[in-house]
């Protein structure tokens, strides 16, 4: 049973939800004490656990409120509190999305209550690279576009990243590719250029990219081993796998824009993409 539970925990870590990742990266950059992900306790697995505070944190999806979900949760809570003697905090995914500050405030009180104030360094005393936290992430605006001649054929992509007064253009191409691969590559490269987790306002004229992310299609393909609902193989699984990981690392808000219209940023990305594709003709 222990081996089965451990294997389940490993799988859950690899397939963490966006809300779980959001909270996890906040823990890494906010607390001077260690949290563990998907920690087994007997037959159960808790989403997050802090040894020093003896605190478990659970995020509840819709399945917790369906069928016998409430009964199973009651048994789980009883085991954790009465047998393992740990404190349990429960939040819904919706709370993480809509009231992240409130969720963090509740966790802060529980964690800090277990330690003297001397344990908590100020932000300026945190180790290099840890001096910010998820709650004060930068908001970056990204525009991307892809182009391909022949489809398949020579292609290119372009991206613009903007943060305050700072603006950066990126572009690249391949000798033999497709339009959709260039659309995906533009988004991936732009997100990879960010050095820390950010709130990203992502603009693209690609329905392929926006719909697959916004409507959950890409996550469905991944869950089915890169097979679509019609049993046909999902295209570009290598790029989708990378993009989904990046969307978990950052908080990405998606925006579709009409291509070849009056948006100067989208038009500039198109110019960059076309220019790159012409290098391979």
Q: Which of 51-65, 207-221, 244-258 has the highest mean pLDDT?
A: 207-221
Q: Residue 60 catalytic?
A: no
Sign of CA dihedral 36, 39, 41, 45: positive
Q: Residue 260 catalytic?
A: yes
Question: What's the pLDDT tens digit per position in 95-143?
Answer: 988 888 888 889 988 888 876 554 454 433 233 333 344 456 788 999 9
Q: Which two tokens stand for residue 97?
A: 């999305």
Q: Evaluate whether 239 touches 192 at the Cβ level (below 8 Å).
A: no
Looking from the CA of 240 toward its CB, the CA atoms found within 13 Å total 24
Residue 23, pLDDT > 90, answer no
Q: Residue 66 catalytic?
A: no
Q: Which of 146, 155, 156, 158 is catalytic?
A: 146
Question: What's the pLDDT tens digit per position in 38-88?
Answer: 888 888 889 999 887 889 999 987 776 777 878 888 898 999 999 999 999
Distances (CA, A) of 111 to 32, 35, 53, 103, 268: 10, 11, 6, 13, 48
Q: Which two tokens stand for residue 258?
A: 């009409």
Q: Evaluate whether 43 touches 9 at the Cβ level (below 8 Å).
A: no
Give 121's DSSP letter: -
Q: Residue 205 catalytic?
A: yes
All structural domains of the chain, each given as residue ranges with its CATH number in brackets, are 2-125 (3.40.960.10), 137-278 (3.30.420.10)
Q: Residue 245 catalytic?
A: no
Q: Which two tokens stand for residue 32?
A: 């001077």
Q: Give the Cα separation of 97 and 13 in Å (integer).
A: 20
Model pTM score: 0.58
Q: Residue 64 catalytic?
A: no
Tell me the three state secondary structure of residue 170.
Answer: strand
Question: What's the pLDDT tens digit per position in 169-213?
Answer: 999 999 999 999 999 999 999 999 998 878 899 999 999 999 999
Q: Which of 47, 174, 270, 276 is catalytic?
A: 270
Q: Which of 26, 47, 183, 276 is catalytic?
A: 183
């Amino acid at each position: 049973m222990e081996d089965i539970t451990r294997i389940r925990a490993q799988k859950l870590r690899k397939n963490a939800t966006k809300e779980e990742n959001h909270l996890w990266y906040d823990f890494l950059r906010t607390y001077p004490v260690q949290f563990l992900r998907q920690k087994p306790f007997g037959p159960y697995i808790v989403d997050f656990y802090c040894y020093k505070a003896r605190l478990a944190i659970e995020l509840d999806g819709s399945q917790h409120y369906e069928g016998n979900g409430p009964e199973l949760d009651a048994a789980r809570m009883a085991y954790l509190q009465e047998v393992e003697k740990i404190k349990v905090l429960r939040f819904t995914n919706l709370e993480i999305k809509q009231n992240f500050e409130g969720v963090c405030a509740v966790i802060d009180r529980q964690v800090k209550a277990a330690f003297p104030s001397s344990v908590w360094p100020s932000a300026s005393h945190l180790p290099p690279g840890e001096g910010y936290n998820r709650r004060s992430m930068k908001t970056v605006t990204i525009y991307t576009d892809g182009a391909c001649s022949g489809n398949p054929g020579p292609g290119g992509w372009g991206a613009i990243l903007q943060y305050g007064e700072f603006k950066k253009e990126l572009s690249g191409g391949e000798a033999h590719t497709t339009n959709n691969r260039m659309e995906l590559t533009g988004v991936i490269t732009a997100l990879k250029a960010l050095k820390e987790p950010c709130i990203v306002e992502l603009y693209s004229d690609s329905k392929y990219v926006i719909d697959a992310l916004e409507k959950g299609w890409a996550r469905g393909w991944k869950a089915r081993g890169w097979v679509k609902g019609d049993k046909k193989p999902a295209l570009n699984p290598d790029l989708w796998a990378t993009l989904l990981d990046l969307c978990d690392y950052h908080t990405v808000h998606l925006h579709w824009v009409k291509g070849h219209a009056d948006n100067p940023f989208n038009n500039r990305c198109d110019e960059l993409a076309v220019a790159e594709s012409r290098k391979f003709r």
